[in-house]
Structure 1
């Protein structure tokens, strides 16, 4: 589709006059910014981007898409590694302007606009010493994160993000609106706990908040050759750690920070991050085995949760490729496989070779939701980020090598927010086969035409829930 054709003569002016936000088409001054997403590998040119300022704009945008036969994509944070929030030649429902967060400190809830990112949520709740499980960077969209399950630093203490979902308001494919809660459209409410954006455009979410007066973080840096010992020590510690403890192990390029030794800047290092939802003195007691190890550097402090969320933010404009495997066990052989594959990671780059612990409340409370990966005790997440196309093959090969190396200990289930387009079998594995069948029936009720298919797609069935 060429700029302004045929949309200019087919109702574009009407669309623009009907919405409180803006609509951008190719050639508009704001078009290129509107179509830029987190992964710079993605270069798609939608026919129109509707930057919605209110729910009515979402309804009008979907109607315009129906009238003109345009494929629909929905953008919240824009972090999908495969660029699912853009459609080539289609229409994008861009929610970023709908990012208001309203906190009810008495009832410990937050009403979050569909376009809010974690930074919006965390900054709103921080003054009340309240928080809920969020993504591990501040730029992740709250909507896609939560509806996909939602794994983050606080999950062992407070559960997954979807466990804290109290209600959601959606615009469905036909332009209708629906509210889902435990006592209202319970089938849809169940599906939104991990089923992603398959059922409509989430214009607002209501989330449960928890008291979090103090948070401690410990970032311990080790030479790569000492990484296996550090990872084994962290593994053993987390097997009996209280729910308050979390964090992860990661290999990364040494950043130019004051606490990083100069000889480690720009080189591969192994880091162990311990998060603790309590004071530093308690955190030190829990992490004593790690603190007994020789290390290159450390950064230990009590820190606002909103600040922790920003620490691993990735610079914009980078190329991305990542995936994950969820492990049923993590013996010494798996530790060796994890650590050895770090050496193939592109360095220097923004890439991170990550091991996350689950357990705690995540593993104890399933709620019957379609997130089978929550029972896995460990997750390996090769997160490739680099700057140039010349590094693409090395980076992609490294991600695949990591997955292959740890696959002997993988259970098959996977957190879909951590992967791109890896085939329908992986999608089903992300929900579980029985859950997928139930999700397909809910999909048939709310989106029988599969309008919302640019996601980890659940195809509608004819079954009745």
Structure 2
């Protein structure tokens, strides 16, 4: 640090001696507890370019950060530089051209508010502070995915800073192969995204927020609900999507919770979900007809400000029979020591997601029925290792029922992660990495490695 010239950085530099440091280093997952060397807050693309040139010149390891939501903390690290783009928040809506341009630091809530104010829905995620860039680069699941497609399916153009500090334009005509890769291959592999341009969807005014909760449910009812849910998804209206959690909560016991969004009236939503709501009288059910923006506000507000957790996600292709469902119930029957919540969650796919070929974008698992998420959450980090061991001991059961892994729900212990995340697309992704980042300048523990994994110079020896 003694010989490093910070004057070359045009953004804000936060060192360990800065009073902002303790707050600036935090991740949304409080299980991630690391101490970066410095944090560079970038406010425009020039700041990003200068930050890239700075770490390259000084042979410093670095990470790219936007929303701080990397499950495994891959947007930060010990004794390295964090290039933070969360202040690139410009949102420009051009209704005449039917596009919206988002800065690389825009988060879900900001996008929902800006677009919702003009009557447009947004194919974003549920958590308000997730960075839109990271969401989109990994595909981008949301409650509107069946109706509007994945977030990456609305993407028209990306502006990215490469390893040389040059700005690249990516779209269907320019750097087309890299544009393909950036729709599903995850963030941090190829460069720093400074803006994303998306196609505006048709305006939609009203919709129905769905909230169903069965607390302290018995096993037979739980099996029936999940069987009925799978039957429902065979021909489910594209305008509806659900997140269904089989949970064990310290507060509410073992239960099933469904949160959903329907682009239609509440009466129709009730009819569609009749097979779910009539399983048991032990139900709390609300169908609220309001603006789409209000629906998304409630979903976002239901998320905590932060958590400590271990989590992962895979893709479910098969129909779960009663035996499979009981095996999932067995997994969560006893929580890990110190855990107050554990869940196995089905994130609905199908609809518009499935209409696009798995070769058309880097998001490979388009024909899966659900993303299957698994998590354990705790309050005191003295129980971190207990929960991690508990999770990994049960993860193998999940793998037996699923295929592949979801890059936006990463798992550090995943073997053969490139093939797991990207399926048959991973070979092409490695070739693209070699073309646009030949010396593996952009790295993190689960980076896509180029076809030539031996570095040709010392660019990355930092």
**TM norm structure 2:** 0.90
| Residue equivalent to 2:348 | 357
Matches within 5 A, 1:371-386: 371-386=363-378
Deviates more, 1:99-108 or 1:156-165: 99-108
How many angstroms apart in 2 are the aligned matches of 1:360 and 1:135?
A: 17
How many angstroms apart in 1 are the aligned matches of 2:373 and 2:409?
A: 7
Matches within 5 A, 1:27-426: 27-196=17-186, 197-210=188-201, 211-222=203-214, 223-225=216-218, 226-252=221-247, 265-294=251-280, 295-303=282-290, 304-316=294-306, 318-332=307-321, 333-346=323-336, 349-366=340-357, 368-411=360-403, 413-423=404-414, 425-426=416-417
| Residue equivalent to 2:460 | none
Q: Work out whether residues 265 and 289 of structure 2, in 8 Å CA contact, stay in contact via their aligned partners in 1.
A: yes
When the two chains are superposed, the root-mean-square deviation of aligned CA atoms in Å is 2.2
The Cα of 1:25 is off from its aligned counterpart by 1.1
How many angstroms apart in 1 are the aligned matches of 2:87 and 2:265?
A: 37
The Cα of 1:398 is off from its aligned counterpart by 4.2
How many angstroms apart in 1 are the aligned matches of 2:302 and 2:170?
A: 33
How many angstroms apart in 1 are the aligned matches of 2:279 and 2:17?
A: 58
Deviates more, 1:231-240 or 1:305-314: 305-314
Deviates more, 1:266-275 or 1:48-57: 266-275
* Higher fraction of helix: 1
How many angstroms apart in 1 are the aligned matches of 2:211 and 2:412?
A: 33
SS of residue paired to 1:24: strand
Deviates more, 1:235-244 or 1:298-307: 298-307
Q: Work out whether residues 325 and 414 of structure 1, in 8 Å CA contact, stay in contact via their aligned partners in 2.
A: yes
| Residue equivalent to 1:442 | 432
- CA distance 1:401–1:424, change in 2 (3 Å): closer
Query: Deviation per CA, 1:337-357, whole angstroms, max 9, x where unpaired?
Result: 223322233586354431122
The Cα of 1:253 is off from its aligned counterpart by 6.0
The Cα of 1:305 is off from its aligned counterpart by 3.9
SS of residue paired to 2:205: coil
Q: Work out whether residues 248 and 272 of structure 1, in 8 Å CA contact, stay in contact via their aligned partners in 2.
A: yes
Unaligned runs of 5+ in 1: 255-263
How many angstroms apart in 2 are the aligned matches of 1:401 and 1:139?
A: 30
Count how many residue pairs are aligned between Structure 1 and Structure 2.
Answer: 441
Unaligned runs of 5+ in 2: 454-462
